A and B are shown apart, each in its own frame.
Chain A
């Protein structure tokens, strides 16, 4: 017959021992922390988010869908998609180029260059729009004469909107890819080089596959932000209904004109995109974590 010694955690003090005040506080603390955290997030984030859904479908699915066929809303959606469709590919090219150029090199001023790339995150979007107006405004801009002589309007037109979107969203891609490239090191690219691959082949067959999930993550962030950009676009667009109005501008305009249902309908479309991007993000994060873990295991295997 064998004695089994119960684990220490299972030994409870006898019933007549009253827990001290401190012990009782200790057992209540986690519950209190969870309660405060949940309440705070519910009030600050969840209630406003729910309000959009409730208001958009306040009269049921039919009127919601009907709102979505509003011509101004549709043309705003079209312009948003156009701006996103141009801005995102440009920023993907820049992001990948910047990451491959910067990540694995050490040169004086590297930290400074990385901060410069981060600049659009800390500049107010309104200031980004202002900078574009000061350059390209046909009357007051620095390039006013050029703009007037070519007759190609930038401010109060779609090129301005595209430019503003590009500036506000270009750091995402580089920021996601650079840390991963720095972690991985050069060996695989050097091996491909020795085997006779050209730089282009090395990029497509070695570098890009190794950062694919980080790049996809950056792509999702860029797209979500590009579709939702408000401040920078508001300054350069002139906000003319069904001409230079993007979907976020339409939301504000409809709300101001007391077309509340339309505003919430359009907001629901944007919110839906946001939620889809969040779900995709969670998915890609898991894939990325898997890649990181594989990379780490490989590195450990090399060392042993």
Chain B
């Protein structure tokens, strides 16, 4: 048996493909761009916030105005994303498990809040829910419920903006579920609700929570549509992003920075939560 002569690997033949000695061009572009576009502004704000000092930071972050705006932003967004958690599941179910006329239209309508500029959404919502609007008038006459220029309006805008998240995260998981499991549950004597709550829902839960978390994160940061439907009065329906803008207009840069940093920290936490939910979802599907 003769030894097969091993082909000498040309030194550096894989350079640029794996483990490059010098960073390749894409790598350089990525880091330069991220540094200029993202890290620089981020560190600028954190530096400014650090300059305020712990006592000043706490004072500005917990001023009564700020607390009231957190209550509106975080509270109403929670309500809006929970509503979408329930109805998003219903819509996803209808899109995956049912066949009906107009299904394609419904499917493409779901993406509209992603595609429509928030200013247009705000204009449309504030018209439809104004006291002369298509929905605002009946709501006012039948229930005495005023939507535009109130907290309810803020909620309506947040529901609009966060609807697609739950539908689009639940849809693929629901589609990949095996019908056999449900049939097995039925043949073992489980009735419809039991099958749904004990077999289907637990498997959908990571996706639902992931969608709710994404929608929540989006709704908390939403500005364009909310600012047009709300009255933007402090302690009434003022959301945190609008408070930041008002502080900037008053040249109160310190307060704006501190409240902006609070929003940034929230964004970081929500990113971690969303990632964790995704990891959990993958484990569920593979395991």
For residue A159, CB closer than 8 A to chain B, the reply is no
> Would you call A230 and B118 a contact (CB within 8 A)?
yes
For residue A132, CB closer than 8 A to chain B, the reply is yes
For residue A227, CB closer than 8 A to chain B, the reply is yes
In angstroms, Cα B258 to Cα A127, docked, is: 11
For residue B61, CB closer than 8 A to chain A, the reply is no
Residues of B contacting A: mostly: helix
Nearest to B224 among chain A residues (CB) is A230
Residues of A contacting B: mostly: helix
Complex interface bits, A25-55 against B, C-beta within 8 A gives 1, otherwise 0: 1100110011011101101111111011001
For residue A5, CB closer than 8 A to chain B, the reply is no
Contacts A130-B248, A248-B118: A190 and B17 contacting too (C-beta < 8 A)? yes
For residue B169, CB closer than 8 A to chain A, the reply is no
In angstroms, Cα B107 to Cα A214, docked, is: 20
For residue A67, CB closer than 8 A to chain B, the reply is no
> Would you call A248 and B117 a contact (CB within 8 A)?
yes
Interface members, chain A 224-260 (any B CB < 8 Å) = 224, 227-231, 234-235, 248-249, 251-252, 255
For residue B253, CB closer than 8 A to chain A, the reply is yes
> Would you call B109 and A142 a contact (CB within 8 A)?
no
> Would you call A255 and B123 a contact (CB within 8 A)?
yes
Contacts A101-B26, A190-B17: A231 and B108 contacting too (C-beta < 8 A)? no
> Would you call B120 and A274 a contact (CB within 8 A)?
yes
Q: Given B112, B244, B248, B275, which contacts A111 in the complex, CB threshold below 8 Å?
A: B275
Number of interface residues of B (CB under 8 A): 90
> Would you call A131 and B33 a contact (CB within 8 A)?
no
Contacts A52-B120, A126-B241: A131 and B44 contacting too (C-beta < 8 A)? yes
Interface members, chain A 48-80 (any B CB < 8 Å) = 48-49, 51-52, 55
Number of interface residues of A (CB under 8 A): 88
User: What is the minimal beta-carbon distance from B182 to any residue of chain A, in angstroms?
Assistant: 12
> Would you call A118 and B271 a contact (CB within 8 A)?
yes
In angstroms, Cα B228 to Cα A235, docked, is: 15
In angstroms, Cα B114 to Cα A45, docked, is: 11
For residue A267, CB closer than 8 A to chain B, the reply is yes
Which of A7-15, A133-141, A295-303 interfaces with chain B?
Answer: A133-141
> Would you call A167 and B111 a contact (CB within 8 A)?
no
For residue B18, CB closer than 8 A to chain A, the reply is yes
> Would you call A267 and B124 a contact (CB within 8 A)?
yes
User: What is the minimal beta-carbon distance from A189 to any residue of chain B, in angstroms?
Assistant: 7
> Would you call A41 and B223 a contact (CB within 8 A)?
no
User: What is the minimal beta-carbon distance from A251 to any residue of chain B, in angstroms?
Assistant: 4
> Would you call A52 and B37 a contact (CB within 8 A)?
no
Nearest to A29 among chain B residues (CB) is B192
> Would you call A40 and B91 a contact (CB within 8 A)?
yes
For residue A166, CB closer than 8 A to chain B, the reply is yes
Query: Within 8 Å CB of A287, what residues of B?
Result: none
Which of B173-181, B197-205, B262-270 interfaces with chain A?
Answer: B262-270
Q: Given B38, B102, B228, which contacts A167 in the complex, CB threshold below 8 Å?
A: B38
User: What is the minimal beta-carbon distance from B60 to any residue of chain A, in angstroms?
Assistant: 14
> Would you call B119 and A228 a contact (CB within 8 A)?
yes
Q: Given B14, B33, B47, B112, which contacts A278 in the complex, CB threshold below 8 Å?
A: B112
> Would you call A128 and B41 a contact (CB within 8 A)?
yes
Nearest to B223 among chain A residues (CB) is A231
Nearest to A251 among chain B residues (CB) is B119
Contacts A55-B127, A189-B17, A278-B111: A130 and B102 contacting too (C-beta < 8 A)? no
Nearest to B222 among chain A residues (CB) is A124
For residue A217, CB closer than 8 A to chain B, the reply is no
> Would you call B163 and A44 a contact (CB within 8 A)?
yes
> Would you call A45 and B223 a contact (CB within 8 A)?
no
Query: Within 8 Å CB of B95, what residues of A?
Result: 37
Query: Within 8 Å CB of B260, what residues of A?
Result: 126-127, 130-131
In angstroms, Cα B256 to Cα A125, docked, is: 14
For residue B121, CB closer than 8 A to chain A, the reply is yes
For residue A170, CB closer than 8 A to chain B, the reply is yes
In angstroms, Cα B112 to Cα A282, docked, is: 12
Complex interface bits, B218-254 against A, C-beta within 8 A gives 1, otherwise 0: 1011111001100000000000111011001001010
Contacts A37-B106, A45-B163: A122 and B124 contacting too (C-beta < 8 A)? no
In angstroms, Cα B26 to Cα A96, docked, is: 8
Contacts A115-B275, A123-B264, A278-B115: A44 and B40 contacting too (C-beta < 8 A)? no
For residue B133, CB closer than 8 A to chain A, the reply is yes
> Would you call B128 and A47 a contact (CB within 8 A)?
yes
Q: Given B93, B127, B134, B135, which contacts A33 in the complex, CB threshold below 8 Å?
A: B93
> Would you call B117 and A270 a contact (CB within 8 A)?
yes
Nearest to B23 among chain A residues (CB) is A101
In angstroms, Cα B159 to Cα A46, docked, is: 13
For residue A264, CB closer than 8 A to chain B, the reply is yes
> Would you call A45 and B25 a contact (CB within 8 A)?
no
Query: Within 8 Å CB of A252, what residues of B?
Result: 119, 122-123, 224, 227-228
For residue A98, CB closer than 8 A to chain B, the reply is yes
Query: Within 8 Å CB of B274, what residues of A?
Result: 122
Query: Within 8 Å CB of A124, what residues of B?
Result: 220-223, 240-241, 263, 267
Given contacts A122-B217, A122-B270, 4 further A-B contacts (CB under 8 A): A115-B271, A189-B17, A267-B119, A281-B115
Contacts A/B (CB < 8 Å), 15 sampled: A49-B124, A94-B30, A98-B33, A116-B38, A122-B267, A124-B221, A124-B223, A126-B241, A127-B221, A127-B264, A135-B40, A140-B251, A166-B37, A228-B120, A277-B115
